[in-house]
């Protein structure tokens, strides 16, 4: 039995790839959409691939480089952080292509779904959600458990977003509700179930000078490409606003973070805050990124987000352990709270129809009589999307956590240690160089 | 008083963010420009956002990843290098959005200025200028002083560029005069005032094997995206030339650097040269990047720039200390001298109207009767732009230096040391791993 | 004589730059092609520069960042890996601009060739080929030998591709045959000639924890931008398919690698596999990337490629030494075998005309009566392209190896050691910090 357990990952991945092969073969079709399918364009002719491709590449880099390196800060867990992020994201990308296809693009007549350039972007969005959850459990689960978590989380994320977009017609341009908020609370709920008190006193849960700088690679690529993340879904003047608002908000959250960090550290700074809280502005502006909130609106949201997120790292993070939540990467502060802020901003903006422009969005997608909606009703639907996301994420996470806790799958007793999973270059070789 | 001093950074940033919020709120408006606003396009229809966005993202990466990691080479100052670059650039981006708006796009009727996708690019250009100045003072000032420097430098840079572009109508496609030359001499002038002799014998001003490789991340991203930096301002055939010329010139400066480095190091090579001088070709071709200089012209400029810049690192850098200038990152060699070369190239090319195409540029922008200008007069105006930039940069830098030297703001006695500003992971933990 | 030898690199580069200057000056002309030159576009108007530029930048990053950092894994050879990749790629870029110009775009009337935005992309393709060969000889040759190798390899690569594209009209959308297969076997043939038994027991041929993570920077950027590599040559619906197929295939090869790695390592994983074999799917799908192979086709190709490539690292790599081939970066497993797989996939797909769409390609380029070709004849031509590439690569590599082995050029006795080529920061300084 133990003998068999160590091949669980290989067996699971093999079964998955074989199944996916049949599903792709039966149901997925390339569709080169005419450009008229893009809403809000003021120009008559352009190619659809080129319209989305540069932003897709940016987001792809955010997923693999950004999230991957962001998580390398643990000094003995850098191999695992970057490599598990890699395999998890690659798996999720495929799985999300399928799930989004079945739920969002299923063509009942043809018994198939279309794959176009936008499908690749939405798959990366789903992947973001799963990687956020991974941040909460980093170092405390094995790669088999990660793949299993993603396997459960993807359909839940897709269904939740499908309800939110199709029935509630919630405005969420930068996916702060459906991706960030969802991913954070799903991961925290998983962690709540998997919690064991010996996680708290692991001697390996800390960083090195070098690993902190590797982590900054992730931070800064996430920072730079965040405007693409928030704008890729949009077009025309909305895309312009999404880009500008995100740039201003995320720059402001850098400043907000430095303000808060130097206050709580009494004039010094903390690299942990710089690594994470600086990005909170990108999350917090997401839902309303394409709305006409003004650059001052984006600035306020971003500054607050950076400030609050830093305070979260300083004071909330340690307290979560009391309620049995150990949040390795602080996703509660970087994605949870700012995601909630973004949801609230979305509710506020929805109450001002000339700012939110929500009626432009209702017409096409909304199955629940969107055209007749007043702004008050839209406020309620925005709130419903936030509430439902919280409930679905926590419930889904608890269920998934129970599954991952089954003795068959459960983690070795060593946390935050590459040695459990990798052949590591022997230290004695490297001492000799002392570099 | 001392108690209060350590919160100076937080207080300054807070005041700034509050002021910016009002300025953005009162004066900044999103403008989704019609594509007809782009000059020199041979096509009738495309979206303005997509036209500029990919190059904007490249330049954004240059600012935050490129400059940020380039400066991590100091073995005990990598946290500060990457993080101060981060906060300084985020601040400058906002401040430049405002300043460029007031000077270049102010609409007197509407009492407001337009923010579009090009505004984001020009803000990054301004940021480049400030980050170059930061390279000169790196490790010798605290983050409060850096923000204060940027606060002073941004308006000076913007006004100088505004004069150069509006009255002199100087051709400077890749911003070598207004950004590189300006930034370098501004920073050196600041350093001249801040100079203290104990800076020279700090034991921490050196690199480690690992920090040198982190620095190469910056170098190579700057290298790759430099064509975007030089071409983003341009359109149509000019953009094609700017891309090709920059690619050829910066590749040539890599070769020029290796030639010079292996000569001065007698057959060996020096990683410091590879980190910096390799990029000199991007600076040196900037002013004339969009002109019809031929690939051979770009090759000559680039090779010379790499060669001269390497010699600068080898022989000029140590001598600058004699005249009280301590140039941490060698910005004089990477941005100062090549910027001057670019200015001279601009003067030469201006004398050959069929190469420079300067008359195409004069019509729209120039308030001083550009259409009637002969090429000789344009030569004089190009020279005037270089001269004015040098004077304004040095004068502005000296003034700013005096401000930064006020006892209230001045730096602790420890140079090039993260410990002054950061909580650092304790070394004893990391010895045990020896990786 | 010895005195003179150490300046060989500088002299060679100087002669090259001077010669290139004349060749560019006499023969290269900027051409801003009308967009009608792009085949398969369904839209009437767009600018040619913007159509290709974002993918060009991605590929540029792959060459300089991707290949450069991928090779930094050797713990004492990271300076050399990143810097020699830099100079070699910069040199090759210029040399390929010329060679591609003379062979592919020579205008006999005007006695000149056109340089446009596509020329930059094809130059990067040629550079990829040379950097792959560099992977085989990494750490065992000096920079002079690398430049000399590239000087010989570029014309051979260009001529081989010219024959394959012009006479055979082989379909090779992602350049897996003409770049990956060619580069791998050229480099291995060079290595065969240069082999000396003391290469095998060098104590420096290993990685450090930190250098392995630097290497992952290369891996992940190559992974992210591979869709651009395979799609840049294509347009319209073909480009869409190339992007989707490459995304699916390379994600699948990540999963295939993890399956194989955890099987051969008995439940653990090996970072060497993750660094390299994960990318095999990008290579293996290259030739047929733009064909209508279906997402399941891409998934099968990718999974197999990752699996086979991992097995290659595990079992083939050590055995190559028996036949006098020492393959530092395992290019045989990452580019050789997957390149061959891609060639075979191309042969299979060519036999199904409705999948390959090869007839669309034959019309424009093919000088050998492509329009009349049946699919069987196309199968033969695809096979001929693979066969010729193998023969030309091996023959060219052997010849080049003999040249590099001349006593004048040959390498010092120290392998995989930066000290031979660089001034290194002294270890004693860095011990004191122990970070």
- Interface predicted TM-score of the whole assembly (ipTM), two decimals: 0.94
Other C-beta atoms closer than 10 Å to the C-beta of A192 total: 18
User: Mean pLDDT for chain B?
Assistant: 90
Predicted confidence (pLDDT) per residue in C259-290, tens digit: 999 999 988 999 999 999 999 999 999 999 99
Residue A4: count other Cβ atoms within 10 Å of its Cβ: 10
**Residue A44, pLDDT score:** 39
Question: Would you say how long chain C is, in residues?
Answer: 435
pLDDT digits (tens, 9 = 90+) for B401-435: 999 999 887 766 789 999 989 987 765 344 333 33
Confidence of residue A106 (pLDDT cuts 50, 70, 90): very high
Q: Do A6 and C266 touch (CB under 8 A)?
A: yes
Question: Which residue has better confidence, C263 or A430?
Answer: C263
Chain B contact for A36 (CB, 8 A cutoff): no
| Contact B202/C at CB under 8 A | no
- Identify the pLDDT of residue C22: 97
Interior CA angle at B429 toward A196 and A332, to 5°? 45
Using the beta-carbon criterion (under 8 Å), do A34 and C42 form an inter-chain contact? Answer: yes
| Chain A residue with the nearest C-alpha to that of C260 | A10
- In this prediction, residue C46 carries a pLDDT of 56
Q: Is A210 on the interface with C (CB under 8 A)?
A: yes
- Band of residue A368 on the pLDDT scale cut at 50, 70, 90: low
Residue of B nearest to C69 (CA): B217
Q: pLDDT > 70: what percent of chain A? A: 89
Is residue A21 included in any domain, yes or no? no
Average pLDDT over residues C342-369: 76
**Res C213 pLDDT > 90:** yes
Quick check: C97 contacting B, CB < 8 Å?
yes
A413 to chain C, minimum CA–CA distance in Å? 16
Determine whether the interchain pair C296/A65 forms a contact, defined as Cβ–Cβ distance below 8 Å. Answer: no
β-pair partners for C113: C28, C106
pLDDT score of C220 = 98
> Is residue B218 over pLDDT 70?
yes
Residue C209 near chain A (CB below 8 Å): yes
User: What is the DSSP-derived secondary structure letter of residue B28?
Assistant: E
From the list C5, C25, C82, the residue facing B296 with the nearest CB is C25
> Span B132-156, mean pLDDT?
96
Residue A172 lies in a domain: yes
pLDDT at A377: 87
Nearest to B287 by CA among B309, B314, B305: B305
Listed range (A120-124, A195-199, B95-99, C273-277) with the worst mean pLDDT: A195-199
Query: Which residue, among A327, A328, A334, A329, has the nearest Cα to A312 in the 3D structure?
Result: A334
d(CA C147, CA C150): 5
Chains contacting C (3 or more CB pairs within 8 Å): A, B
Share of chain B above pLDDT 90, in %: 72
**Measured between CB atoms, does A209 come within 8 Å of chain B?**
yes
Q: What is the pTM of this model?
A: 0.95
CA distance A126 to A119: 11
- The H or E element containing residue C29 is strand C28-30
How far apart are alpha carbons A404 and A415 in whole angstroms? 16
C357 near A CB under 8 A: no
pLDDT at C43: 43
Instruction: Give the residue-averaged pLDDT of A82-111.
Output: 95
The C-alpha angle with vertex B80 and arms to B79 and B85, in degrees rounded to 5, equals 110
Residue A247 forms contact with B (CB below 8 Å): yes
According to DSSP, residue B66 is labeled I
Q: Which residue has the higher pLDDT, B107 or A229?
A: A229
pLDDT in tens, C175-201: 999 999 999 999 999 999 999 888 888
Contacts of C45 in chain B (CB under 8 A): 43-46
**Structural domain harbouring B401:** 10-32+49-409
Residues B292-312 have pLDDT tens digits of: 999 999 999 999 999 999 999
- Tens of pLDDT, residue by residue over B70-92, are 999 999 999 999 999 999 999 99
Show residues of chain B in contact with C64, CB under 8 Å: 220, 223-224
* pLDDT tens string A7-43: 999 999 999 999 999 999 999 999 887 655 555 444 4
Q: What is the mean pLDDT of residues B132-157?
A: 96
- CB–CB contacts below 8 A, A to C: 191
Q: Inspect the interface and report whether the beta carbons of B47 and A42 lie closer than 8 Å.
A: yes
% chain A with pLDDT above 90: 72
A145 CB-near residues (< 8 Å, 6+ apart): A137, A404, A409, A410, A411
Angle, alpha carbons A112-A232-C39 (nearest 5°):
70
C36 to chain B: closest CA residue: B43
What is the number of alpha carbons within 13 Å of residue A151 lying toward its C-beta?
A: 17
Within 8 A of C300 by CB-CB distance, chain A residues are 21
Report the DSSP pairing between strands A28-30 and A112-115. Answer: parallel
Domain contains C75: yes
Give the helix/strand (H/E) hosting C112: strand C112-115
Q: Is A194 within the bounds of a domain? A: yes
What's the whole-number mean pLDDT along residues A65-93? 96
Q: Touching check for A95 and chain B: CB below 8 Å?
A: no
Q: What average pLDDT does range C358-383 have in this prediction?
A: 73
Please indicate if any CB of chain C lies within 8 Å of the CB of B209.
yes
B247 touches chain C (CB under 8 A): yes
Chain A touching partners, 3 or more CB pairs below 8 A: B, C
In a domain, C6, yes or no: no
Convert the pLDDT of each residue in A230-273 to its tens digit: 999 888 889 999 999 999 999 999 999 999 999 999 889 999 99
d(CA B231, CA B59): 10
Q: Hey, is the C-beta of A294 within 8 angstroms of any chain B C-beta? A: yes
Does C115 contact chain B (CB < 8 Å)?
Answer: yes
Per-window interface: B 265-284 vs C, CB < 8 A = 265-271, 274, 278
User: Can you give the pLDDT at residue C6?
Assistant: 85
Q: What percent of chain C has a predicted confidence (pLDDT) above 90? A: 72
Report the pLDDT averaged over residues C114-139: 96
CATH number at residue C383: 1.10.3430.10
Q: Total structural domains in chain A?
A: 1
- The reply to whether C159 touches chain B by the CB within 8 Å rule is no
Where residue B355 falls among pLDDT bands split at 50, 70, 90?
confident
Distance from CA of B278 to the nearest CA of C (A): 9
- Write the pLDDT tens digit of every residue in C218-248: 999 999 999 999 999 888 889 999 999 999 9
Residue C169 confidence (pLDDT): 87
Contact between C17 and B252 using a beta-carbon 8 Å cutoff: yes
Task: Tell me how far CA of residue B190 lies from CA of B83, B195, B396, C103, in angstroms.
Answer: 21, 9, 8, 53
- Asked if B43 reaches chain C (Cβ–Cβ under 8 Å), the answer is yes
DSSP collapsed to 3 states, B197-220 = HHHCCCCCCCECHHHHHHHHHHHH
Give domain status of residue B84, yes or no: yes
Cβ count within 10 A of residue C394 = 17
- C433 and B75 within 8 Å at the Cβ level: the answer is yes
pLDDT at C53: 95
- Whether residue B214 and residue A212 make contact (CB cut-off 8 A), yes or no, is no
pLDDT band at B34 (very low <50, low <70, confident <90, very high): low
Q: How far apart are CA C222 and CA A154, in angstroms?
A: 26
Which residues in C lie closer than 8 A to residue B206 (C-beta atoms)? 425, 429
- B305 neighbourhood in chain C, CB within 8 Å: none
Q: B361 with B171: CB under 8 angstroms?
A: yes
Res. B281 pLDDT band, cuts 50 70 90: very high
Q: Among residues 133-152 of chain C, which lie with CB inside 8 Å of chain B?
A: 143
Contact A70, A329 (CB under 8 A): yes
Report pLDDT for B43.
Answer: 44
Residue A372 located in a structural domain:
yes
A203 within some domain: yes
Instruction: Give the closest-approach CA distance of B269 to chain A in angstroms.
Output: 19
């Amino acid at each position: 039995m133990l003998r068999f357990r160590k091949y669980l990952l290989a067996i699971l991945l093999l079964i998955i790839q074989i199944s996916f092969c049949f599903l792709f073969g039966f149901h997925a079709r390339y569709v080169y959409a005419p450009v008229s399918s893009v809403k809000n364009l003021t120009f008559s002719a352009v190619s659809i691939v080129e319209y989305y491709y540069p932003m897709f590449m940016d987001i792809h880099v955010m997923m693999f480089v950004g999230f991957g390196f962001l998580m390398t800060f643990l000094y003995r867990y850098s191999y695992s952080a970057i490599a598990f992020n890699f395999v998890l994201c690659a798996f999720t990308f495929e799985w999300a292509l399928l799930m989004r296809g079945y739920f969002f693009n299923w063509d009942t007549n043809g018994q198939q779904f279309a794959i176009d350039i936008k499908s690749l972007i939405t798959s990366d969005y789903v992947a973001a959600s799963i990687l956020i959850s991974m941040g909460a459990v980093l170092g405390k689960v094995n790669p088999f458990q990660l793949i299993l978590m993603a396997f459960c989380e993807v359909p839940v994320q897709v269904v939740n977003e499908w309800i939110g977009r199709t029935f509630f017609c919630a405005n969420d341009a930068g996916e702060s509700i459906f991706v960030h908020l969802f991913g954070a609370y799903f991961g925290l709920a998983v962690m709540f179930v998997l919690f064991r008190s010996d996680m708290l006193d692991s001697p390996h849960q800390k960083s090195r000078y070098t690993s902190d700088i590797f982590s900054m690679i992730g931070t800064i690529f996430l920072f730079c490409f965040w405007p693409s993340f928030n704008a890729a879904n949009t077009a025309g003047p909305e895309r312009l606003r999404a880009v500008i608002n995100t740039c201003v908000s995320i720059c402001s959250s850098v400043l907000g973070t430095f303000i808060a960090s130097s206050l709580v550290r009494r004039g010094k700074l903390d690299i942990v805050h710089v690594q994470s809280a600086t990005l909170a502005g990108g999350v917090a502006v997401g839902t309303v990124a394409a709305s006409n909130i003004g650059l001052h609106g984006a600035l306020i949201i971003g500054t607050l987000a950076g400030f609050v997120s830093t305070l979260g790292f300083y004071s909330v993070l340690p307290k979560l352990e009391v309620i049995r939540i150990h949040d390795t990467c602080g996703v509660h502060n970087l994605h949870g709270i700012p995601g909630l802020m973004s949801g609230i901003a979305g509710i506020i903006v929805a109450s001002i129809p000339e700012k939110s422009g929500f009626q432009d969005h209702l017409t096409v997608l909304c199955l629940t009589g969107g055209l007749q909606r007043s702004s008050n009703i839209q406020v309620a639907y925005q709130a419903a999307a936030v509430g439902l996301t919280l409930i679905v994420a926590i419930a889904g996470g608890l269920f998934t956590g129970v599954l991952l806790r089954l003795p068959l799958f459960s983690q070795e007793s060593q946390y935050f240690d590459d040695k459990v999973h990798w052949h590591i270059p022997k230290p004695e070789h490297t001492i000799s160089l002392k570099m």
